């Protein structure tokens, strides 16, 4: 398919600088997800790649060709929007065939491409229906099918699942992953849902206020966040952050004080922190050990128990945000219990 190379692009809306000198390479046939909170610039990035927004400076190339001045129809991309954008008076077949008719393809080719896309998406039985006769998931399949029929070099998805209910979102995530494997297409997907990002992506690009905060594979970002923003955004529930102070340090170890005079010694790992520095210790809920007397770092009172079947999340009282601890699904710990916890030192992060 096509590689996308973005070099030093900028975009402002009036006095608001939305995209700030971003450079990004998207590998051919990869599934790249742009993720971040509302207003971080991810949809604007997608629209600039599609040609729906002009860029103020920098360049975008698709398959080695700079497309800055090309209109959307000449970029050989297809975009799927958050709203399905289907023509209500047309059948599913006509909606999927519309772009091909504009390209003046022959009737036989249009028929062949629409049937091929319908088969991939398992909507052959709906080709004669109107959009109002379809469920939300079926409408989104039609919108994706319309993109597939054009056989573009690049697929762009702008939060395509956000209008669906939870069960349908899970189902459509699976369908999109299968679709990527079948088409071997270059896909860029925008979402604010980090679960979608983790389950779909080959590469995740985390955006924060118009800049790339970190880029990498899902598990690399999960296990090795480069800053506190990525650490807090990737993962559900998010990573716990505990205010602490560096009390001692040598080449191999660093000692920090936290949670009412509790000390913990971690591997140094080339830390650039100095004695006396205020830091944040980050640790994920699943890396906190419960009732481990030999290595207990702290004890806290449980004020919420969130049972999810396969696992349970315990919320412990502490100054600031609560400490979230993952426990087995069948745990007998209940509200108002006081439990001892320890930290898996190899999984602690210092920010």
14-32 residue pLDDT tens: 999 999 999 999 999 999 9
Tell me the percentage of the chain whose pLDDT exceeds 90.
56
pLDDT at 182: 85
Q: pLDDT grade, residue 294 (50/70/90)?
A: low
- pTM for this predicted structure: 0.87
**Per-domain residue ranges of the chain:** 4-233, 240-350
Distance, CA of 163 to CA of 139 (rounded, Å): 11
pLDDT at 219: 95
Contacts of 148 (CB under 8 A, 6+ apart): 78, 116, 117, 120, 121, 179, 183
Q: pLDDT grade, residue 213 (50/70/90)?
A: very high
Q: Give the mean pLDDT of 288-292.
A: 81
Check whether 221 has a pLDDT greater than 70: yes
Domain 240-350 is found in CATH 2.40.50.140: yes
Own/partner long-range contacts of 55-58 (Cβ < 8 Å, ≥24 apart) = 55/9, 55/10, 55/11, 55/19, 56/9, 56/10, 56/11, 56/12, 57/8, 57/9, 57/10, 58/6, 58/7, 58/8, 58/9, 58/10, 58/21, 58/22, 58/23
Superfamily of domain 4-233: P-loop containing nucleotide triphosphate hydrolases (3.40.50.300)
Look at 56 and 250; give whichever has higher pLDDT: 56
Distance, CA of 323 to CA of 38 (rounded, Å): 26
Distance, CA of 325 to CA of 283 (rounded, Å): 10
Look at 155 and 122; give whichever has higher pLDDT: 155
Contacts of 300 (CB under 8 A, 6+ apart): 316, 317, 318, 323, 338, 339, 341
Q: Give the mean pLDDT of 300-318.
A: 92
**Closest by Cα among 247, 213, 211 to 230:** 213
């Amino acid at each position: 398919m096509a590689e996308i190379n973005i070099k030093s692009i900028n975009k402002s809306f009036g006095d608001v600088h939305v995209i700030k000198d971003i450079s990004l390479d998207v590998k051919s046939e990869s599934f790249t997800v742009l993720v971040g909170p509302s207003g971080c610039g991810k949809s604007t990035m997608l629209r600039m790649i599609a040609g729906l927004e002009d860029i103020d400076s920098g360049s975008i190339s698709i398959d080695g060709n700079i497309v800055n001045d090309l209109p959307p129809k000449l970029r050989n991309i297809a975009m799927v929007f958050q709203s399905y954008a289907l023509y209500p008076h047309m059948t599913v077949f006509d909606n999927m065939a519309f772009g091909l008719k504009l390209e003046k393809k022959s009737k036989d080719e249009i028929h062949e491409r629409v049937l091929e896309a319908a088969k991939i998406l398992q909507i052959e039985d709906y080709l004669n229906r109107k959009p109002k006769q379809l469920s939300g998931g079926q409408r989104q399949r039609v919108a994706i099918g319309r993109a597939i029929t054009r056989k573009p070099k690049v697929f762009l998805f702008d939060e395509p699942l956000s209008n669906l209910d939870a069960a349908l979102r899970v189902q459509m995530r699976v369908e999109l992953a299968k679709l990527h494997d079948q088409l071997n297409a270059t896909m860029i997907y925008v979402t604010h849902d980090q679960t979608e990002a983790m389950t779909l992506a080959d590469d995740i690009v985390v955006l924060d206020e118009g800049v790339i905060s970190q880029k990498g594979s899902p598990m690399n970002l999960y296990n090795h966040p480069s800053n506190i923003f990525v650490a807090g955004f990737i993962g559900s529930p998010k990573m716990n952050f505990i205010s602490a102070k560096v009390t001692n340090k040598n080449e191999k170890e660093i000692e920090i004080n936290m949670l009412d005079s509790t000390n913990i010694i971690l591997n140094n790992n080339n830390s650039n922190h100095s004695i006396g520095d205020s830091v944040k210790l980050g640790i994920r809920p699943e890396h906190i050990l419960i009732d481990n007397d030999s290595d207990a770092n702290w004890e806290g009172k449980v004020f919420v128990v969130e049972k999810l079947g396969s696992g349970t999340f315990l919320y412990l009282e502490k100054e600031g945000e609560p400490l979230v601890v993952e426990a087995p699904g069948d745990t007998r710990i209940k509200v108002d219990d006081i439990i001892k916890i320890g930290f898996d030192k190899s999984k602690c992060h210092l920010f």
